[in-house]
Chain A
Amino acid sequence: DIQMTQSPSTLSASVGDRVTITCRASQSVSNWLAWYQQKPGQAPKLLIYRASSLKSGVPSRFSGSGSGTEFTLTISTLQPDDFATYYCQQYDTYVTFGQGTKVEIK
């Protein structure tokens, strides 16, 4: 199994901050990496696929980078609607998710 490890587990930030979440894979997943946002009581929503491709309709303040084993999700200017939990997911070999990073209000 490919293990996905996110850091930090919780992140306290203010509206307007630049936020970066890291995801590390236990072995290379090339660029087969997606990021999701989940709010309480809702299903995860796809933000980014293939490590850096923004899904249509997702605000441009979200960006992804990385390849191989290390990836980042960046929110350039945090908005009130962005307080949520974020998950990375590899789909190179089967599919596995990270444990999540909760972005909370500071």
Chain B
Amino acid sequence: SQQGEEDPQALSIQEGENATMNCSYKTSINNLQWYRQNSGRGLVHLILIRSNEREKHSGRLRVTLDTSKKSSSLLITASRAADTASYFCATVFTGGGNKLTFGTGTQLKVEL
């Protein structure tokens, strides 16, 4: 499978701290997306970064993409307890049609 690898697998921080999650993938991509999943629920799209972009911001989210290293990072600043969830990177691989392939995920816990 062309699943990406994410690290850390689990992250526990205090409210107000920043959380950084990393994603690595294997082959050329058209774009990379980050999703959030609350326990036992569907996924919510957070942000998309295209292969020709290096950084993107959306509110408290900052995503970077390094295609030479085949890696991306998601930074959540000033975290809140409500940010507790699993976060997944997902990619559309070049030549992969419209299929979205997910990384292994990071379980984030933000404590009060």
B and A form one assembly: no
Q: Which residues of B contact A (CB under 8 A)?
A: none
Q: Identify the A interface with B (CB < 8 A).
A: none
